Each structure stands twice: as C-alpha cells, then as structure tokens.
Amino acid sequence: METQEVMKRAQKALDWVGKRGDELDADEVGCLNGLSKGYKSFMTDAGVTMLDDIEHRYGVGGKGMGHVPFAHGPGHQPAEMKGVKVHHGAHGEVYELKAGTKLSSVIKAKEKPPVSMERWLAATMLGDVCEDKAALEYAHETKSVSSATSGVLLPTAYQSEWTDHVRAQMVLEAAGMTTVTMNAQTLTSSRLISDPAVAWRSEAGNVPNSDPTFQLHNLVAKSLAVRVQATAELAQDSPDWGSQLTRVITKALAVEVDRVGIMGTGAAGQPRGIVNTPGINTITGVGVPAHYGHIVSGLQKLIEAKCDLETVNRNAIMSPRTWAGYENLRATDSQPLQRPKAIENMAFRPTTNVPDNLGANTDESQLVLGDFSELTLGVRMEATIEGLKLQSFASNLMVDWLGWVRVDFLVRRPASFTVLEGIKAA
C-alpha cells in the first residue's frame, strides 16, 4: 500500500476518534501518529494491521461495527431497526435494544463474513488440516490462523453475534430485559428513584417542591471470563465442533450474567442485581406455596407503584423448586389449581440462579415479578472469544479457549419490581 494513502487513513482515524470522543490506548495513539507522519518505523505490516483494526473497531468512515445507517424522517425507520433507540453520548452512539432485538442486526460489519462464526472457530485452530476450505481461506484472510505459540481473537465482524449468543440463553432476556451498548468502560445513565409529585395551582401560584426524581448512575463494565480445553483431535474429527464450542462457552457466560442480574450483590467485582437493589417492593414470609395469592399481592404492589398490569403480569422468575411447588398445586377435587385471571398467561420461568438456601435456616427462596424492561444490561463491545495454543498444546495437543464478556446491570426504576421472599419447599 502506498505511503501517502496510509498517512491519509491514519490522519482520518485520528480525526474520527477525536470527534467521537473514543479513548485510544497509548499504543494505538502512537501508531496512528507515526503512520500519519509517514515514519518508516511504523510503515510495517504490523502498523498497517493495527490501523485496519482501529478503523474497524471504531467504525472509521463507516467501516466495521461503528456505523449503522439509519433512515431519517418521521416514521421512516427500517424494519430491522424496530426495537432500537439511539442515544448520542460522549463516546459516540449508544444503542438501546428491546429484548429479542439482535445486536448483530443493529451493529453490522461493513461486509458480511463469508462463513459462520462457528466455522471460523474450527478453522482458526485446525489450520491447514481443516477440511472446510472456505472457512480456512477466510481465517487466512483475516490473519486468524493460530500458530504453535500464539492465539487468535474473534474478528470484529463476529463480536455482535457473539454477544447475541450469550443474550439468547438468558432467562432475563426472555423476560424482557433491555440491552445497551457501551463504547467505553463507563456509561453514565440515570435511575428513577421516585415519581414526580403533581399539584393543581392557581394563577401565579407557586409550583410545590418535590423530592429528587432521578439519580445519576454509572454502568461500569465488569469482566466475566470462562476457560475451556479440548484436544486437537476432537476439534479435527468433530464436524460440529465450532458450534459445540460456541454453545458451551456462551451458555456458561449467560448463566452467570443471569445470576448477577437477578441476585448480584454489587461486591467482589460483580454487578448489582434486582434483588439487592434499594427501593424494590417486597413481600415477606410467603412460606410453602398453597395458592397464588402472594403473586397477586406482588402485582398489587406494582400497580400501586403506577406500573401497567398488562406488562408486569407477563413474567415471574423463580427457582425450579418454587416452580414445581406452584405447578403441583391441586384443588380440593385433586385437579390442578386454576390460576387467577390476572396471572393465567404469566410465564413462570425457573432458573437455578435463584437459590433455595436463603433465610436463617437456609431453606428459603425468592420469586421476582415486574417490568423487566426496566432492567438494563450494559454490554461493552469487546466481548469475544480467544483461542490459545499454550504449553499444553506442545505437550498433549490441548487447545485452550477463553471466552469473556464485559457487562454491568442497572435497575432503572426499582419500584417496577416486587420480590417474594421466604418461599419454602412443599
């Protein structure tokens, strides 16, 4: 590539990230400055590769993941962008997605990869012995074939899809959780801590004071990682190995992200979840489920907190033990106990992330009701998977895979949730 062209690209990248307020690390800044000035020490394959990566990661000029073409004008939003809001922050555009909206349909690579992420995963580790020639060719093209001592990172084009795999396996996503993208480690947001007070007033009369309505809150990306191993022979012999690897790693991550979204304490580097958020509604001392009255009472608290019944009666998250207790309820004629009309279509969502060992005697559980769209999952876009060939490869042909996400949670309106406490086994 011509030196002048590289210099122009590097300067454009500097201007682009400066305008958007993106934060580059010292190596990236040094590389762009060196290339923009035409320094020979930076005009290397490594320097140009870093420039390529920066352009795609920060969406320079519409490359990579950083640019999504929205149609403008009233009512003129593309079909694939329904369920998406765009906010303009200090570090660029922030995308807010309703549950069920795929991140990969919103933040798109400039060019769609010719092979699936699962096929690419297999090709990166197998290298030239890979029988999937199209995947191998793409792996070579993206310089992502692992050597005997080095690893590979997930290409930018797959990162949204990787996050979608994690979200799709979460109970909170099924219940209606909102997802927002984070372009930096910290995203400033707000929490509604009280509804505003209104009052009638006479002409020229004073407007009465009320308590603060909103509270500043920062989403701070916290790192969650998992490591798995597989033999090179397994990777080579199993035709769906890439799919299996993706499913196992994203499921493990999804389970833990789910757990902290529900039960997270906010301590030891983990996010704070619904149950431990100040200001939520609670019903205590439920005991052994004998009827659905406590659930209806939980909905009553939500209605009194100005929630919409048709929204908050859609989902209930509970432990498998609690789920079985309600499902096994019987009327006096031994037939299944009919649910009250308000909850007849409520989805009871069991998850092992709600424990059964709470309370003084470690025999109690909880159940969560509410408007789950008021729970926000912040996702840093560097969520990815990395394949490594470490010493274990040289000694016994074991391949290591590291998967990680960087996330945080925010309950935007605590009053939109009710937690039933003290639920015991039947």
Per-position DSSP letters for 414-425, written without gaps between them: GGGEEEEEEE--
Of 169, 325, 253, the closest CA to residue 316 belongs to: 325
CA-to-CA distance for 420 and 284, rounded, in angstroms? 6
How far is CA 53 from its chain centroid?
A: 23
User: Which regions of 301-358 does DSSP assign to beta strands (E)?
Assistant: 315-318, 347-350
Q: Which two tokens stand for residue 254?
A: 């999804």
Contact 368, 419 (CB under 8 A): yes
**75-197+209-426 CATH fold:** Major capsid protein gp5 fold (3.30.2400)
Structure tokens at 330: 């019987």
pTM of the model: 0.75
Pairing of strands 417-423, 281-283: parallel
Alpha-carbon distance of 260 to 269, in angstroms, equals 11
DSSP annotation of 145 reads -
pLDDT at 400: 76
Query: What are the angstrom distances between the C-alpha of 272 and each of 220, 241, 261, 425?
Result: 11, 35, 7, 27
Per-residue pLDDT of the chain (426 residues; tens, 9 = 90+): 688 888 888 898 888 887 766 667 666 787 888 888 887 777 887 788 778 878 776 777 655 444 444 433 333 344 346 788 887 766 678 889 999 999 888 887 667 788 888 888 777 766 776 777 888 888 777 766 544 444 566 777 888 888 999 999 999 999 999 999 988 888 878 777 777 778 888 888 888 777 667 777 889 999 999 988 777 666 666 667 778 888 889 999 999 999 999 999 999 889 999 999 999 999 999 999 999 999 999 999 999 999 999 999 999 999 999 999 999 999 999 999 999 999 999 999 999 999 999 999 999 999 999 999 999 999 987 766 776 655 555 556 677 778 888 999 999 999 999 999 999 998
Helix (H) or strand (E) holding 138: helix 133-141
Q: Which long-range contacts (CB under 8 A, 24 or more apart) does 111-117 make?
A: 111/157, 112/157, 113/138, 113/155, 113/157, 113/158, 114/138, 116/242, 117/154, 117/158, 117/161, 117/162, 117/242, 117/246
Pairing state between β 315-318 and 365-370: antiparallel
Contact 164, 104 (CB under 8 A): yes
- Predicted confidence at residue 168, as pLDDT, reads 94
Contact assessment for residue 313 and residue 301, using Cβ atoms and an 8 Å cutoff: no
User: Residue with structure tokens 């069920």?
Assistant: 100
- For 25, residues 6+ apart whose C-beta sits below 8 A from its C-beta are none
Give the DSSP H or E segment for 171: helix 171-175
Residue-range domain boundaries for the chain:
3-62, 75-197+209-426
